[in-house]
Structure 1
């Protein structure tokens, strides 16, 4: 523990707390259970080849397949990137709305009332349209991802039934 604390520049109690919270590297967490399956030699070879192509261990590959088949959302990198892009766009629209609100609040404090001008009304309407468009994009993105995931799971089930 002393070597770890020196290596990372933290106290020994910090190392102990991190190990207690996150578990020891390479050790299963306390709330997990081992699942065993039997495979033919050719199935195991195919599993190992797929795991190698994906850069995953057998356990990680098995977990991924089972989680997808059970319906867990495990977003793919392209889905994550698309959602992050939409999030950035929504934040930009939100920033614009905050600027308009700040201006109107300042005006209300000074004049006793807020009187949005034509440009502000146009900005608010444009923001509303942008948010509705982003919401539709997000809906399409998730529907598309769900359809792809469902198709993959159905293909896995068909392959399993054919075997």
Structure 2
């Protein structure tokens, strides 16, 4: 199961009232994964997310544009598309499936690096207890340098992704502001 599918399945099971422990066992993930997704999904009312309804009138041409974007799989429905657009204009980060995959892989990689750092720290702790000083081996020093380089590269990519989303949001915000100004002038 892909990470996005797993996350959606966890959200569905949570909304159906299943416990985090049962979901974790059923899907073969750690309970902390379920709790992390649960804490990020927002408020729950009964068996569904706490959405509010906002109404807006659109022209048939605008509705056709929304439907076209749904057919192009920009979002699964008009409502999902409007939520996505609202999040973009509001400056919320909304990653693409490719970005989701990259971020999931980056998280796994960072977790592995954390394990490497813990092993090196444990070895250095033993060294301090035996000799009174930390004497890292050349191999440990090289592993730390490589890990630092990897973290720096990940930071650059994630930073670029966030800047890209900010530019998209600012562009959309600018378009909407310009359209709104044009609507005001037309009235």
Q: Give the match's secondary structure for 2:17.
A: helix
Deviation digits for residues 88-130 of structure 1 (CA, Å, limit 9, x no counterpart): 3322322222221111122233344332233322332333333
Q: Say if 2:53 is the partner of 1:34.
A: yes
What does residue 118 of structure 2 align with? 98
Q: Post-superposition shift, 1:160?
A: 5.6
- Rounded to whole Å, the distance in 2 between the matches of 1:50 and 1:104 is 56
Please show how residues 138-153 of structure 1 align to structure 2 within 5 Å: 138-153=158-173
Q: Give the match's secondary structure for 2:164.
A: helix
RMSD: 3.0
Q: Post-superposition shift, 1:51?
A: 2.7
The structure with the larger Rg is 1
Q: Give the match's secondary structure for 1:18.
A: coil
Give the structure-1-normalised TM-score: 0.66
- Rounded to whole Å, the distance in 1 between the matches of 2:84 and 2:177 is 15
- Rounded to whole Å, the distance in 2 between the matches of 1:132 and 1:41 is 49
On the 8 A contact 1:79/1:145 being kept in 2, the answer is: no
Give the structure-2-normalised TM-score: 0.59
- Rounded to whole Å, the distance in 2 between the matches of 1:115 and 1:49 is 63
Long gaps (5+) in structure 2: 1-15, 19-43
Q: Give the match's secondary structure for 2:117.
A: helix
Long gaps (5+) in structure 1: 1-16
- Rounded to whole Å, the distance in 2 between the matches of 1:104 and 1:65 is 51
Q: Say if 2:105 is the partner of 1:85.
A: yes
Q: Say if 2:92 is the partner of 1:67.
A: no
